[in-house]
Amino acid sequence: MRRKLHIKKGDTVYVNAGESKGQQGKVLEVIYEKEKAIVEGVNMVSKHTKPNAKSPQGGIVKQEAPIHISNLMVVDPSTGKPTRIGRRLNDKSKLVRFSKKSGEEIK
């Protein structure tokens, strides 16, 4: 059974620690086993690649590396600022995420 995380694919997140501190980006992928996420344009690393069918030249490729989810905060869609996330039942008795700052539901 996998643990519920406060971040989902497609969320806009703020990086609050590490080399990429202060940057924002969209979550491309969540790696549940390692509790990490890959964020668009954040935590860029240089990867050396051998020539292959995809890149016949080979060389150095810049790509995003995973960041631990404890270093990420979801950005509140209404205010555009980072917020903590809570869970509560909505009017249809469905468990939804909500912003602790504004109290608004996060889709």
Q: Domain with 70 in it: what CATH number?
A: 2.30.30.30
Per-residue pLDDT tens over the stretch 4-35: 889 999 999 999 999 999 999 999 999 999 99
pLDDT score of 2 more than 80: no
Structural domain includes residue 84: no
Structural domain includes residue 96: no
C-alpha angle 86/75/77, rounded to 5°? 90
pLDDT at 3: 76
Mean pLDDT (whole number) for 46-72: 93
Distance CA 83, CA 104 (A): 11
Q: Compute φ and ψ for 71, nearest 5 degrees.
A: -95, 10
Structural domain includes residue 18: yes
Structural domain includes residue 35: yes
pTM for this structure? 0.83
- Token readout for 9 is 């694919």
Q: Which domain holds residue 42?
A: 12-76
Distance CA 40, CA 104 (A): 25
- Token readout for 66 is 């995973």
Structural domain includes residue 3: no
Structural domain includes residue 7: no
Per-residue pLDDT tens over the stretch 60-94: 999 999 999 999 999 998 899 999 999 999 889 99
Structural domain includes residue 69: yes
Sign of the dihedral through C-alpha 37, 28, 2, 90: positive
| Residue 32 per-residue DSSP state | T
pLDDT score of 98 more than 70: yes
Structural domain includes residue 19: yes
pLDDT at 1: 61
Domain count, the chain: 1
